[in-house]
């Protein structure tokens, strides 16, 4: 397989060549750990200007990863636990096809295809992180015929 491949993100990564599938799995594991380690945490603290006795305000202690916040805004009903399970399946190479055996959209396969699509874009185009830019993976970019 190579340029002009018929693989798309509706199919599990096991249909990709080893090095390409491995890049997807590695990125999925990174995303899973990032999502698991970083979540929105809000606490209450006494208000600087008290308007009534016991007045408190909400303070954000930590946030979800930027990529998850963007995906959450773009997709209605995105569930954190389903996302974590999907990324775990992808990291193990046990991801599910978009359609089940009857040809119906699988709720778990739809999460897997969502993350396969996102990972494919990240691997082909690179992406911003807090402290810089992670460049594209040339091997993956060439496989999907997006490179030189």
- What does the block give as tokens for 54? 């016991």
pLDDT of res. 130: 82
- pTM of this structure: 0.84
In the 8-state DSSP scheme, what is residue 12?
A: -
Give the three-state DSSP class for 98. Answer: coil
What stretches of the chain adopt beta strand conformation (E)? 41-46, 56-62, 127-129, 132-134
Report whether 71 contacts 118 (CB < 8 A): yes
H helix count then E strand count, the chain: 5, 4
Share of the chain above pLDDT 90, in %: 70
Span 47-78, pLDDT tens digits: 988 899 989 989 888 899 999 999 999 987 89
pLDDT of res. 1: 39
- pLDDT-derived band at 108, boundaries 50, 70, 90: confident
Looking at the DSSP bridge assignments, the partners of residue 128 are: 133
């Amino acid at each position: 397989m190579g340029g002009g491949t018929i693989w798309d993100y509706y199919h599990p990564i096991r249909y990709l060549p080893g090095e390409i599938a491995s890049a997807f799995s590695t990125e999925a594991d990174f995303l899973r750990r990032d999502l698991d380690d970083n979540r929105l945490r809000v606490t209450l603290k006494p208000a600087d200007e008290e308007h009534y006795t016991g007045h408190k305000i909400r303070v954000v202690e930590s946030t979800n990863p930027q990529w998850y916040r963007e995906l959450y805004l773009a997709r209605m009903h995105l569930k954190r636990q389903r996302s974590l399970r999907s990324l775990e399946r992808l990291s193990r190479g046990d991801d599910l096809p978009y359609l089940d055996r009857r040809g119906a959209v699988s709720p778990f396969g739809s999460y897997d295809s969502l993350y396969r699509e996102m990972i494919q874009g990240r691997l082909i185009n690179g992406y911003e992180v807090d402290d810089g830019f992670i460049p594209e993976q040339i091997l993956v970019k060439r496989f999907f015929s997006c490179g030189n």
